[in-house]
A and B are shown apart, each in its own frame.
Chain A
């Protein structure tokens, strides 16, 4: 039972354009959502997060949008840069205190020059 789903295994975007990565969840108890970025042979690193009390959070070129009624969130990267090429994981949590994260399958983003 995959509670957090990233249905696009890969995405290819031209440098300078917008990258949009999508994530769906099924557990209505999730109240905090995060995006992690992972380069080959490294561990995931935290990128941006959003609480369920908000519908948008922005940090520089990265913006996360949350649509609670659709149980959907997305990560926008504008403008996309070659260094953004990585695997992006969506994660969610429903636990106060233990902060256990449930991760999606990941989307491999490739930025083409």
Chain B
């Protein structure tokens, strides 16, 4: 059972480049989330999708866009990467009435 799969695991971008972080879950969960983890800041919510077809901003959405492609997939796009977006990005999913998130193993992104 794969759970939540994130690709790629590592990425280095130059300032101004764009990229899409992919996330897929095989647990038939309705809700999906994107968080970033920075030293001393914990995990901060970027965007979330309560159900297929809906997306909402979290605490730190600036510089990001998301797409809930279908129930399984939730992608995060950086249109013009900045050094401040250097971080570890985690995707998670959960049932609608559950607080128990299942997290992917993360994408370590460096913007130079």
Contacts and interface: CB of A to CB of B under 8 A. Distances in A.
B31 A46 contact: no
Contact of B105 (A41, A89, A98): A41
Contacts of A43: 4, 90, 92, 103-106
A44 B103 contact: yes
Contacts of B99: 32, 34, 49, 93, 99, 101
Interface residues of A, number: 26
Given A44-B43, A46-B101, A49-B100, A100 B48 contact: yes
Interface stretch (A13-21, A52-60, A66-74, A102-110): A102-110
Interface size classification for chain B: 20 to 34
Contacts of B97: 97, 99
Nearest to A90: B42
A41 B88 CA distance: 10
B98 A99 contact: yes
Contacts of B56: 98
Contacts of B18: none
B94 A99 contact: yes
Given A44-B101, A100-B48, A100-B58, 19 more contacts: A32-B99, A36-B101, A43-B90, A44-B43, A46-B100, A49-B100, A93-B99, A97-B96, A98-B48, A98-B50, A98-B56, A99-B31, A99-B96, A100-B33, A101-B45, A103-B43, A103-B44, A104-B42, A106-B42
Interface of A: 4, 6, 9, 32, 34, 36, 41-46, 49, 89, 91, 93, 97-106
